[in-house]
Amino acid sequence: MVHIMHKSRLVSLLLLSLVLSLLLSGCEQQNSHEVNVYSARKEALIKPALDRFQTETGIKVNLVTGNADALIERLKAEGVASPADVLITVDAGRLHRAKSLQLTQAVDSEQLQTLIPAAYRDPEGHWFGLSLRARPIMYAKDRVNPADLSTYADLADETWRGRVCIRSSSNIYNQSLVASMVASDGVDAVEQWAAGLVKNFARKPVGGDRDQIKALAAGVCDVAVANTYYLFGMLSSENDAEVKAAEQVQVFWPNQQGRGTHVNISGIALTQSAKNPDNAVQLMEFLLNEESQSWYANVNGEYPIRDNTVVHPTLAGWGQFKKDAINLAELGKLGPEAVKIMDRVEWP
């Protein structure tokens, strides 16, 4: 009798083990057909590409959007339990920070290494650029002769006293711009430049890049520093006032006889906690294909990472330009020094 009960219990345990195995297998199968994305990009600027990936591959994309710095803090707080497989964010400085916090892991993809120039990816394979974001000088067509413009450094000249609009020192795009200058010219020279630039502000920095462009059009200042995709967005806006303001502004590519115009990236990284790494890498490679790169260049108004991608006529109209060839990993390394410089010269 006892023997029969033991045998019955053994059968029950085997059945239970089989059921659990099937359940776990089902979970693994479900996970193998999804990828979880944390994105600092607004939904409208990334979801169409993710939807296309889902349609073409059958891999479900679960998207969480939020503030760039907040998402990094979320990843840090969640640790290995984080559901995120990839982090999509803007600015190489933020990607470097995520890496330094050990929130990312290296990816060995021949396709990514081939398609992305070395300057726009982490030397150790922790993050990769998806699109380029140029930050040139913009000027009022009716008040500035482009022949009077040359370099970022020249904006500190007395000629531009009270004529410059730019965002605050807390803006990471400005921090990365200053970091790129430190890499090229050194701390002392950049601090002297920053002090001169502050003296030339037309007003205390306020608002985002669109606000600098609007102030430029309104005559508050004569030149501004802003990312081109903001101007692109205003020119293609349904708001007539934004279009009218943007039409009064032209792009000037600085530093063409030297290191080139400063560029940054929107980029992607595989998280350290990734539960679906193969799907994540497949998504990363998908966002570098010709169709995705064309989408960045024609819908978002950003410059493609890949060469020979046809860009929107508006971008083409601004002309070809020489880009700073610095590896963008340096922006993250030198970002803290850039912030110190901006603090010392009291850049608001």
> Alpha helix locations (H) across the chain?
2-31, 47-57, 68-78, 92-100, 110-115, 172-185, 187-199, 209-217, 228-235, 240-246, 277-286, 290-295, 313-317, 329-344
pLDDT reported for residue 17: 40
Closest CA to 88 of 129, 32, 31: 129
For residue 339 the two structure tokens come to 């912030």
% of the chain beyond a pLDDT of 70: 91
Q: How large is the angle between the packed helices 187-199 and 329-344, nearest 10 degrees? A: 50
More confident residue, 295 or 5: 295
With vertex at residue 66, the alpha carbon angle to CA 338 and CA 214, rounded to the nearest 5 degrees, is 60
pLDDT at 308: 86
Query: Is the pLDDT reported for residue 21 higher than 50?
Result: no
Backbone angles phi and psi of 323, in degrees to 5: -100, 145
Across the chain, mean pLDDT equals 92
| Contact between residue 315 and residue 142 where contact means Cβ atoms under 8 Å apart | no
Over range 35-46, report the average pLDDT: 94
The dihedrals phi and psi of 211, each to the nearest 5 degrees, come to: -70, -35
Whether the pLDDT of residue 13 is over 80: the answer is: no
pLDDT band at 307 (very low <50, low <70, confident <90, very high): confident
Rounded to two decimals, what is the model's pTM?
A: 0.88
Arithmetic mean of pLDDT, 87-115: 97
Q: What are phi and psi of 89, to 5 degrees?
A: -150, 175
Percent of the chain at pLDDT exceeding 90: 89
pLDDT band at 98; cut points 50, 70, 90: very high
User: Span 121-126, mean pLDDT?
Assistant: 97
- What CA–CA distance (Å, rounded) separates 106 from 120? 15
Q: What is the per-residue DSSP string for 63-120? A: EEE--HHHHHHHHHHHGGG---SEEEEE-HHHHHHHHHTT-EE----HHHHHHS-GGG
pLDDT at 8 over 60: no
**If pLDDT is split at 50, 70 and 90, which confidence band does 111 have?**
very high
Contact predicate 261/253, CB 8 Å: yes
Give the mean model confidence (pLDDT) for residues 116-122.
96
Please give the Cα distance from 305 to 303 (Å, whole number): 7
Q: What is the largest CA-CA distance in the chain?
A: 103
The tokens for 139 are 């000027």
- List of domains in the chain: 34-133+264-310 (3.40.190.10), 134-262+323-344 (3.40.190.10)
Which position has the higher pLDDT, 76 or 25? Answer: 76
Provide the pLDDT confidence category of residue 31 given band limits of 50, 70 and 90: low
Mean pLDDT for 189-200 is 98
Cα 231 versus chain centre, distance:
17
Tens of pLDDT, residue by residue over 200-243, are 999 999 999 999 999 999 999 999 999 999 999 999 999 999 99
